[in-house]
Structure formats: structure tokens, C-alpha cells
């Protein structure tokens, strides 16, 4: 049966900019001799879903090549033929998603038989308040907030109403706005209305990150761990874990800046280049007494140090890990809550490299000494002993070692998905009714979103070509709708400074960006990070989640001295 799947580009963390290349086409100039090549990264499940009759609505301020002309390089047929995954492209104005879903919810409510009344009655709470807010949604305001036409939204509604199982998928294009939390709650409202939570083939699908980090929260690596987790940890290991809350990324930078924190310790990552407000972040790091990085490769963060600095080289996940009990493996969790083994196959870069578990265990033995009853040496020799402890502390990991040995691993339990059981204060899924928010754009300004290029993985930039968008030899570029560019007198190929404007009156400048005329949504622009991190103040974060608001930055274009 048809489903509606909402796909957004995945945009994760950042890296330091490269230098402008010598020779070749002008920096950031599209290569008009070739079209942008198809993106090869949409999930294979999307292709399978299309083959099964699924309908896909793509909601994005930018056209995505992979959703328009997807080629699957893993099969000869897919590589030769290619296909369009998108049935309807809604080129939304940046930050207009909450308004779109609020109106769709209003239209669903007004359609006879569209609401799953049995599900709403048995499994939800707060419906009446939500429904009253949704019915008040205004067409004119929605069209202003989204930049869409009435016909486009009505076409989307028809696809929604024809769908028996609906998935909504999003990534940082939704999570990095001031009003991200109410936006995602409105998405959940949308799914609850038609019973698309706990139904096979339906539900929420947040793209949460990469497999080497997204299981951290599951393992309790969280600045606000749950009481139940701390209780289980105390029972298993016989010590009293700290109960006070720690720092998220933004608060950690503030703590270093203000002298409240003295030591910075990172397991992987490129913290400086991944964080907002580059100048403030670097100054905060330099105030630390000690900075420590456990890393597989050098990066920008390693040269922004405290009074003392250590770099602890470690094995990569692709390298063989031999310990006292033999060859080891670690486990990873993917975006769908699947846990599976990850074994390195390559010869280590050096025989002297330690694994991350070995580094942690040796540090613990040195620091805690004989006072610790935890068998750190045993943990280092045999990672299976660590998994045995995890099995007794974290629900869903029972019989961990046996289950992860099976091909494909195992799926973590999820009460709403598996049982339509909701572990909330009300015992049900909660509808919400937040006011609709969206960015207001002053005259002569653009709303900037940050994004990755094709030759970029996390904070690592492998090249200066963006095959997604036909950009060659450049990263300091800004994509601007041609009509907006003409109004702003920003010629294609000219150089501008990006100046961000905030309600506190503070302006920030990223100089020397080449204007590229590109079919963005009207009033919207896009540029790569980390080059644009300087435009986002440390305190510009999403309400509730405190996530940096890097996807809706009000900017003006000023002629650059580079031009």
C-alpha cells in the first residue's frame, strides 16, 4: 500500500575550510559543462519502497539531485537506468515546516473519516486542545511561512489521505532552528492523527547521525542520564555515580569560556570545527588547563589547545583490534535502532596504537588504583566482559553477546513501535498545541542554511567539488536564487561578505564568498559549513533542546574586498 515518506538532506557536523585552489575554474563557479551528478546516498529502502508503490514527498528549500535522478551504483540496472524518487517536491521556505504540518493537520481534521478515531481515543492525550489550535491554522499565514502555493499543499494532502502507512523522515534541516522542538512535535501530531505510530511501515524516522556515535545515548553517555540508568549502574558496579547534570555542547563551551570547567577530554570528533561561534569556541578551549583528544587522525581541534595538550592516537574502527584474549570487535547502533558487530579488517597503522577501550581502561586503573573494584584489566583484554555488564545495566541488551553474534545483529525494543505503549506521564502519546513560529525576514535580507558538500564527511573535507550541485573547485560559495540576487545586485560570480544579524544587535561576518545563482527557495540562501560557523552565536540555540540554530540565519550580502 502507498506510503508518504518525507526526506530531507542529512547535514551533520563541520570541518575547517580549505584554501582556495590555484588554477582551474573560478572558485565556487558551477561547471555548466555537466549537470550535477545524482546523489548515491538515499537509503536503499526508499528505492525498494518506490518499487512497492510508495509515494515520496520531498520537502526541502533546495532541489536534491539524488531525489530527482537517483542511480543505484550497487546494481547494473540501477546504475544504467536511474529513477526519480520524488513524487512531489515542496520547495519550502527555510523554517516553514511547522506551519506546513499545522495546516495539513487542519485539513486532515476537516476531512470526513481521515482521523483514526479509535487510535486517538485509546492511545492519545490532549487531542481537544491540539485540534482547536490546528483548526485555527490560517491559509494566508501558511503560504507566507512556507513559500508554497495552495495547489502544492492540496496535492500533498491528497497523497497523505491516500496513504495507509506514513513515515516522516528528517535530519538537521529540522532540528537546527529556534523553533525546532515545536516543529517536530507538530510532525508527531501529524502522525498521531491517522494512527501512524505503532503501525508496521509507519512512524517517525529521525536520521540521528553516524553509527560510531549515535548509540552513545543508549549507553548512558548523556549529560542528563536517567535515574533508572544511574540506579542500575550503582547496583552493578557498587559505587555511587554523580547525580548532578553535566553540560551539553553549548553549555560546555560556556563553562570553558567562564572558567567553570578546566579540562576538556574528547573521544574522537573535531569539536572546534563542529561547534558554532568559531572565535568564542576557540577562545574557550584556550582557557582550559588541559585538553585531551583521543583521535584516529589529526584535525583542527588539535591545534586549539589549553595550557597543556595531549593527543592520544587510537585504532580506527576499520583496523584489527588484538587484545589479551584474541581479536576483538565493538558494536554500533544504526538510525533504525539496530545493533550489530563491527570488526576491523585492516592492519593497524602502527603496532603501538591502543584501542579506545584500552585507553579508557588504562586511564581508569591509573587514576583509581586499588580503590576501584571494577575489573578494568579484564575489560581491556576481552570486550565480551564489557558487553556482559551492559546486558545487566541497560534494558534491551539482555544476552548481548549471543544476540550480537547473529547475522545482522538485533533490534532494540521500542515501546510505541512494538506495543503502542507510551512511557509518558499520561501513559499515552501526547498531542501538543504550540503556537506556530517561523522566521521573519527583513527587507533586503536572506535566510541562510548551512549544508555539506559532496566531498565532505562530517568534519573531513576530501575535495573541493560538490557533485550534488555542480560546484567545482570551491567551498566559500553562497547559493542564491537568481531573482533574489538580481534584487540585491549580487551578480553571478561576484564576491560578497555574509553578515549575520541577530536580535541582540550583534553582527558577525564571514568574508569572501562567491555568489552562485542557484534555484533555492525565494528569500533563502545556502552555504557550506564550517566556513559559516562564525555566523552563528553561541547563544543562538533551539528552545528546549539547546541545539545551535544553524539552519535559519538572517544574513545580508555586502560587497567583498575580495571582489
Report pLDDT digits (tens) over 236-270: 999 999 999 999 999 999 999 999 999 999 998 89
Q: How far is residue 508's CA from residue 32's CA, in Å, rounded to a whole number?
A: 33
Indicate the fold that domain 3-209+425-430 takes in CATH.
Dimethylsulfoxide Reductase; domain 2 (3.40.228)
| Residue pLDDT, tens place only, 113-143 | 999 999 999 999 999 999 999 999 999 999 9
Q: How far is residue 486's CA from residue 493's CA, in Å, rounded to a whole number?
A: 13
The rounded radius of gyration (Å) of the Cα atoms in the chain is 25
Average pLDDT, integer, range 186-212: 89
| Residue pLDDT, tens place only, 52-71 | 888 999 999 999 877 666 55
Closest-CA residue to 254 (of 554, 537, 466): 537
Q: How far is residue 550's CA from residue 257's CA, in Å, rounded to a whole number?
A: 21
pLDDT > 90: percent of the chain: 75
Q: How far is residue 201's CA from residue 541's CA, in Å, rounded to a whole number?
A: 33
Cα separation of the two ends of the chain: 55
Q: How far is residue 512's CA from residue 348's CA, in Å, rounded to a whole number?
A: 41
Q: Would you say residue 92 has pLDDT above 60? A: yes
CATH placement of domain 446-559 = 2.40.40.20
pLDDT at position 75: 52
Q: Which three cell numbers mark 252? A: 560546555
The SS3 of residue 124 is strand
Q: How far is residue 493's CA from residue 290's CA, in Å, rounded to a whole number?
A: 44
Indicate the class that CATH gives domain 227-419. Answer: alpha beta
Q: How far is residue 59's CA from residue 88's CA, in Å, rounded to a whole number?
A: 8
Q: Which three cell numbers mark 268? A: 574522537
| Residue pLDDT, tens place only, 271-329 | 999 999 999 999 999 999 999 999 999 999 999 999 999 999 999 999 999 999 999 99
What mean pLDDT, rounded, does the chain reach?
A: 88
Q: How far is residue 520's CA from residue 251's CA, in Å, rounded to a whole number?
A: 33
Instruction: Enumerate the CATH 3.40.50.740 domain ranges in the chain, comma separated.
Output: 227-419
pLDDT at position 70: 53
Q: Find cell 551492559 and name the residue.
A: 390
pLDDT at position 435: 97
> In which band, very low, low, confident or very high, does the pLDDT at 563 lie, cut at 50, 70 and 90?
low
Q: How far is residue 245's CA from residue 278's CA, in Å, rounded to a whole number?
A: 26
Average pLDDT, integer, range 448-468: 85
Is residue 370 packed enough to be buried (19+ CB in 10 Å), middle (13-18) or exposed (0-12)? exposed
| Residue pLDDT, tens place only, 332-361 | 998 888 999 999 999 999 999 999 999 999
| Residue pLDDT, tens place only, 492-512 | 999 999 999 987 788 999 999
| Omega prior to 147 cis, within 30 of 0 | no
Q: How far is residue 275's CA from residue 540's CA, in Å, rounded to a whole number?
A: 12
Instruction: Enumerate the CATH 2.40.40.20 domain ranges in the chain, comma separated.
Output: 446-559
Closest-CA residue to 101 (of 55, 54, 57, 53): 57
pLDDT at position 562: 63
Kindly report which listed range (234-243, 387-396, 428-437, 466-475) carries the lowest average pLDDT score: 466-475
Average pLDDT, integer, range 531-555: 94
- Measured at the CA of 301, the angle between CA 298 and CA 302, to 5 degrees, comes to 55
The residue length of the chain stands at 563
> In which band, very low, low, confident or very high, does the pLDDT at 2 lie, cut at 50, 70 and 90?
very low
> In which band, very low, low, confident or very high, does the pLDDT at 33 lie, cut at 50, 70 and 90?
very low
Amino acid at each position: 500500500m502507498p506510503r508518504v515518506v518525507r526526506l530531507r538532506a542529512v547535514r551533520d557536523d563541520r570541518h575547517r575550510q580549505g584554501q582556495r585552489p590555484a588554477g582551474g575554474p573560478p572558485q565556487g563557479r558551477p561547471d555548466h559543462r555537466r549537470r550535477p551528478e545524482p546523489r548515491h546516498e538515499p537509503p536503499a529502502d526508499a528505492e525498494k519502497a518506490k518499487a512497492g508503490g510508495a509515494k515520496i514527498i520531498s520537502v526541502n528549500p533546495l532541489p536534491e539531485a539524488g531525489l530527482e535522478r537517483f542511480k543505484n551504483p550497487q546494481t547494473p540496472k540501477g546504475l544504467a537506468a536511474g529513477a526519480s524518487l520524488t513524487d512531489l517536491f515542496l520547495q519550502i521556505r527555510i523554517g516553514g515546516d511547522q506551519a506546513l504540518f499545522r495546516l495539513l493537520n487542519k485539513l486532515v481534521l476537516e476531512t470526513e473519516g481521515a482521523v483514526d478515531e479509535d487510535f486517538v481515543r485509546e492511545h492519545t492525550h490532549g487531542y481537544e486542545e491540539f485540534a482547536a489550535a490546528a483548526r485555527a491554522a490560517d491559509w494566508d499565514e501558511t503560504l507566507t511561512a512556507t513559500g508554497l502555493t495552495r495547489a502544492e499543499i492540496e496535492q500533498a494532502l491528497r497523497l497523505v489521505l491516500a496513504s495507509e502507512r506514513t513515515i516522516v523522515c528528517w535530519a538537521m534541516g529540522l532540528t537546527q532552528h529556534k523553533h525546532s522542538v515545536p516543529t517536530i512535535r507538530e510532525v508527531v501530531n501529524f502522525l498521531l492523527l491517522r494512527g501512524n505510530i505503532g503501525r508496521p511501515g509507519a512512524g517517525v524516522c529521525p536520521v540521528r547521525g553516524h553509527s560510531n556515535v549515535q548509540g552513545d545515548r543508549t549507553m548512558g553517555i548523556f549529560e542528563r542520564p536517567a535515574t533508572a540508568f544511574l540506579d542500575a549502574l550503582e547496583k552493578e558496579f557498587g559505587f555511587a555515580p554523580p547525580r548532578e547534570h553535566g553540560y551539553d555542547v553549548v553549555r560546555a563551551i560556556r563553562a570553558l569560556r567562564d572558567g567553570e570547567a578546566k579540562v576538556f577530554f574528547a573521544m574522537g570528533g573535531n569539536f572546534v570545527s563542529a561547534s558554532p561561534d568559531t572565535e568564542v569556541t576557540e577562545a574557550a578551549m584556550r582557557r582550559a588547563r588541559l585538553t585531551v583528544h583521543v583521535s584516529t587522525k589529526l584535525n583542527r581541534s588539535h591545534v586549539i589547545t589549553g595550557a597543556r595538550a595531549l593527543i592520544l592516537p587510537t585504532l580506527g574502527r576499520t583496523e584489527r583490534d588484538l587484545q589479551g584474549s584474541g581479536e576483538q570487535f565493538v558494536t554500533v547502533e544504526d538510525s533504525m535502532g539496530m545493533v550489530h558487530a563491527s570488526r576491523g579488517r585492516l592492519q593497524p597503522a602502527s603496532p603501538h596504537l591502543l584501542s579506545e577501550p584500552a585507553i579508557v581502561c588504562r586511564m581508569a586503573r591509573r587514576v583509581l588504583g586499588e580503590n576501584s573494584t571494577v575489573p578494568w584489566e579484564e575489560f581491556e583484554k576481552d570486550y565480551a566482559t564489557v558487553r556482559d555488564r551492559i546486558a545487566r545495566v541497560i534494558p534491551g541488551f539482555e544476552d548481548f553477546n549471543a544476540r550480537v553474534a547473529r547475522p545482522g545483529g538485533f533490534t532494540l525494543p521500542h515501546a510505541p513501535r512494538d506495543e503502542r505503549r507510551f512511557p509518558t506521564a499520561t501513559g499515552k502519546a501526547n498531542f501538543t498545541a504550540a503556537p506556530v513560529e517561523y522566521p521573519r525576514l527583513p527587507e533586503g535580507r536572506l535566510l541562510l542554511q548551512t549544508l555539506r558538500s559532496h566531498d565532505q564527511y562530517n568534519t573531513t573535507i576530501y575535495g573541493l567539488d560538490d557533485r550534488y550541485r555542480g560546484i567545482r573547485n570551491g567551498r566559500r560559495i553562497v547559493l542564491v536564487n537568481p531573482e533574489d540576487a538580481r534584487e540585491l545586485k549580487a551578480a553571478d560570480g561576484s564576491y560578497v561578505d555574509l553578515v549575520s544579524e541577530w536580535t541582540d544587535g550583534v553582527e558577525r561576518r564571514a568574508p569572501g564568498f562567491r555568489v552562485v545563482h542557484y534555484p533555492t527557495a525565494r528569500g533563502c540562501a545556502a552555504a557550506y559549513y564550517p566556513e559559516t560557523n562564525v555566523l552563528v552565536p553561541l547563544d543562538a540555540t533551539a528552545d528546549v533542546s539547546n541545539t545551535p540554530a544553524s539552519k535559519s540565519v538572517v544574513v545580508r550580502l555586502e560587497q567583498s574586498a575580495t571582489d
